[in-house]
Structure 1
Amino acid sequence: MQGTDTDLVERALRDGEPLPGTGGFAGQLADGRAVRDVLGRYPLFTERDAPGTASADPSDLDRPVRLPAGTVRSGDGDRRVWSLPEPPTFDHDRRAVAAVREAVTGSVAAVAGEDVAVAFSGGVDSAAVAAGLPDAPLYVAGFPDSPDIAAAREAARLCDREEDLTVVELDHAAVRDLSATVARATGRTNAMDVAIAVPLVAVARRARGDGYQRLAVGQGADELFGGYDKVARAPGDPRVDADTVRGATRELLAGLPDQLERDVLALRAAGVEPVAPLLHDRVVRAALRLPGDLLVDERGERKVAFRRAARESVPDRVAFRGKRAAQYGSRAARELDRLAREAGFERSGGDHVAQFVADLAGDVPAIACPARSE
């Protein structure tokens, strides 16, 4: 069982408890059933024609089928057993921010160790993780002119961590190699997934080469705390169906299992085990209780409660900094597009980057989604 012990998962099943106090889990129970936590923080796959055969690595299986989050799979099919709770909101802003701060600091401190490094892009998410791991080295990857490298250097200076920061500069040869690694590990060749994973895998490889076995990441903060523009614009943004900021935030949480599968598989292929303290159950519980104006305020400021909580451990200039998504901040998306066109794949086709990556990777595993979950 990844993430925790089987006994705890069995108790969570008996009690119907979706957030039993873990950082996620996935694996097989004693009776052979496969199970994955409510947010899908660890990936799990089973053999198409033999659901009792499961693995965290789809390459171990001939015809892997991913297990949806919150689901138990047996020979009788899939059964959804957990959904996120809908707790009442905090009744006081100060109490809410304090709860977020306590949850974040406790979860980050719990992953400390001599074998952990931090993926550090200079934004508030990775800075909050780094603040709780003062002895861990920091790594950032991007092209030399990228915003992420500039932001990481500035944030490291403001946090008095300049000597802890290692910059991994990307070039076209590295992007080709990293893209193929991502595709082979995840089964994905689309431009978005590959561009997101490339700088993360670059960081992981360098950290592993330096002797670190775990990589602490800031994943989950945007989904939990209202970090996306389309959430801030709800209900007016056509990219979300919800008619409130809180509803849009919960809607985006449904996409986490897919993202986390990509990240975990890619990082493991690079030789490190990812740890995501901002996705621990205690942080999720606190985030689910935030009212809309502590996710996005009337001025459009996003991740309000999280930023206020972080400002006690990181400078305000870092806590309240806006930052581009990794694929853009690292310049990976731009350069992938350029490489694909230079290799003769036409942008007019709509999937030129995917064709380019598939050509680089060669044999890309096919991972199926289940037909339905009952």
Structure 2
Amino acid sequence: MESRSLARTNGYFIICGSEDVLGLAERLANFMSYRKRLGIRFFEGSSFTNVLSHKTAKKVMCFFPLLNTEDSTSLLHGKVFNLTENYYKILKMKKLVAEEGVEGVFVDIDGDFSMAFFSDDYIFALRSPISSKPLFFAESGNNFLLSSDPYAMNSVGIQYNYVPSGSFLYFRLGERRKLLVQNYYSPSKVESFSELDQAVDAVKFALMYSIEKNLEGVRNAALSFSGGLDSAILARLAMEHSNLTLITASVGRSHDLIRAKEVATLFPLEHIIIDINENMLAKRFASLKTVFGKENVMNMSIAILFNLVAEEASNLGLGYLIVGQGADELFGGYRRYVEVVNKDESMLGSALRNDFHDLHSKIISRDETAISMFADPIMPYLNRKVAEVASRIPPKFKVERVSGNRKVALRAVAENLGLPEDVFHYPKKAMQYSSGVQKSLLKTIMKTDL
């Protein structure tokens, strides 16, 4: 069955095997039920259904629809910018793959997405050049599995690999079985900025582009707001494109609570506070542990924060949550980068590239999953143009060797946007610490034996 439409999803998986795969499909679908918004749809090789049949099936596609649209074997997770214009590029690409395979495939589509196309003969999937929508695959025995959610694969004990951002996957079925994962995007090599003002202008316009495109068609959205540099910049830019609500999660009178209240007064926006108590923390930890498994306390703290803020956004009727992931890896926010610069400034670029690659290729699953249980994540820093501009910023405009000042260029962007000195000079605080969540979670775990 072929369809010209794209089914917009909150996640999906596709299984193909030489034997019956219904049992595995059922286990994966049940595990991923936290992604369910408008039900669940299965495609068993010939027809769509809301529940798996008891017949034998060697191919199953499952997705969690976000809209009541036409059933389709073409799946979209995330957002394609300028979809009307790019839709025909997608159809042309799909037709080329169906007729000729992947030789000569050219992808020039921006956004934050993964896409997958399923037919009798092949599976073709790709991720946007920079993407917060992860994609994983595995060959287990005679089965091939493609999934947007690694935790479901963990739950059934399947070892997997990831599809990097800016890459496509092609899996040909049948006797001439073939698997290919290939990069299609590499940032163009452009000369570094010689002046800070040049970098500031370029970063500002790239962020404006990303936010405008990400919020196209989004009337109301929430922003996870700590009052720090990254979220303050996003608040300043995003409020021009959507009715924005700021949400801060905090344990007691944490640093984030005090800081966020102060900085929120700079914006004509509603500011919601989530007061996290011990009972709430224990329940949320127990709930998320069933999804994330044996994660460390830092990762669980971050997941809990995003999950609680996303739930509050959903309760307020806001279907989108903006977060600032990626800013530290792009612009030099972590304290360890100061050590790198002091040893050898020329090594900062590779350290940032490695961290950014790990974030948008693998680590981002934590944040995408925690938020997607309740809202659609929007991550404006994770965008091709923003990343390309950041790659042109020399080390001295990211981390200063003598002062140890970090995110130099991004702080200058905040100043350029009219934010006060108290914002653009304020030191970075890690969210898991500044919110009080990690410290409280450790106490809760020890007290309750979670």
Q: Same fold (TM over 0.5)?
A: yes
Q: In the alignment, residue 45 of structure 1 is paired with which amino acid?
A: F
Tell me if structure 1 keeps the 8 A contact 2:138–2:161: no
1:316 corresponds to which residue? 421
CA-based RMSD: 2.9
- 1:67 paired with 2:158, answer no
1:79 corresponds to which residue? 181
Q: In the alignment, residue 155 of structure 1 is paired with which amino acid?
A: V
Greater Rg by CA: 2
| 1:214-293 superposed matches below 5 A | 214-235=320-341, 243-256=346-359, 257-269=361-373, 271-293=374-396
2:47 corresponds to which residue? none
Tell me if structure 2 keeps the 8 A contact 1:21–1:282: no
1:132 corresponds to which residue? 237
Kindly tell me: are residues 39 and 109 of structure 1, through their superposed partners in 2, closer, same or farther at Cα, counting changes over 3 Å? Answer: closer
2:56 corresponds to which residue? none
Give, in angstroms, the shift of residue 325 of structure 1: 0.7
Kindly tell me: are residues 289 and 183 of structure 1, through their superposed partners in 2, closer, same or farther at Cα, counting changes over 3 Å? Answer: same
| 1:81-96 superposed matches below 5 A | 81-82=183-184, 84-85=186-187, 86-96=189-199
Kindly tell me: are residues 191 and 82 of structure 1, through their superposed partners in 2, closer, same or farther at Cα, counting changes over 3 Å? Answer: farther
SS at match of 1:131: helix
Q: What is the CA–CA distance in structure 2 between the aligned matches of 1:25 and 1:160, rounded to whole Å?
A: 30
Q: What is the CA–CA distance in structure 2 between the aligned matches of 1:8 and 1:315, rounded to whole Å?
A: 44
SS at match of 1:297: coil
Unaligned stretches of 5+ residues in structure 1: 345-355, 357-374
Tell me if structure 2 keeps the 8 A contact 1:140–1:168: yes
Q: In the alignment, residue 103 of structure 1 is paired with which amino acid?
A: A
Which among 411, 415, 428 is matched to residue 307 of structure 1?
Answer: 411
Q: What is the CA–CA distance in structure 2 between the aligned matches of 1:215 and 1:58, rounded to whole Å?
A: 21
Which among 146, 160, 176 is matched to residue 267 of structure 2?
Answer: 160
Tell me if structure 1 keeps the 8 A contact 2:341–2:348: yes
Q: In the alignment, residue 183 of structure 2 is paired with which amino acid?
A: V
Kindly tell me: are residues 307 and 13 of structure 1, through their superposed partners in 2, closer, same or farther at Cα, counting changes over 3 Å? Answer: farther
1:181 corresponds to which residue? 287
SS at match of 2:248: strand
Matched residues, number: 337
Kindly tell me: are residues 188 and 83 of structure 1, through their superposed partners in 2, closer, same or farther at Cα, counting changes over 3 Å? Answer: farther
Give, in angstroms, the shift of residue 328 of structure 1: 0.5
1:151 corresponds to which residue? 259
* TM-superposition CA deviations, 1:168-191 (whole Å, max 9, x none): 010111112222333334445321
Tell me if structure 1 keeps the 8 A contact 2:338–2:404: yes
Q: In the alignment, residue 375 of structure 2 is paired with which amino acid?
A: V
Kindly tell me: are residues 212 and 284 of structure 1, through their superposed partners in 2, closer, same or farther at Cα, counting changes over 3 Å? Answer: same
SS at match of 1:324: coil
Q: Point out the structure with the larger strand share.
A: 2
Give, in angstroms, the shift of residue 243 of structure 1: 4.9
1:368 corresponds to which residue? none
SS at match of 1:274: strand
Q: Which has the higher contact order (CA 8 A, sep 6+)?
A: 1
Kindly tell me: are residues 202 and 211 of structure 1, through their superposed partners in 2, closer, same or farther at Cα, counting changes over 3 Å? Answer: same
Q: What is the CA–CA distance in structure 2 between the aligned matches of 1:118 and 1:101, rounded to whole Å?
A: 19
Q: What is the CA–CA distance in structure 2 between the aligned matches of 1:339 and 1:181, rounded to whole Å?
A: 14
Unaligned stretches of 5+ residues in structure 2: 1-75, 81-85, 95-101, 172-176
Q: What is the CA–CA distance in structure 1 between the aligned matches of 2:390 and 2:126, rounded to whole Å?
A: 24
Q: What is the CA–CA distance in structure 2 between the aligned matches of 1:266 and 1:200, rounded to whole Å?
A: 6
Kindly tell me: are residues 215 and 296 of structure 1, through their superposed partners in 2, closer, same or farther at Cα, counting changes over 3 Å? Answer: same
Tell me if structure 2 keeps the 8 A contact 1:27–1:56: no
Tell me if structure 2 keeps the 8 A contact 1:23–1:277: no
Q: TM-score, normalised by structure 1?
A: 0.80
| 1:339-358 superposed matches below 5 A | 339-344=444-449, 356=450
Q: TM-score, normalised by structure 2?
A: 0.68
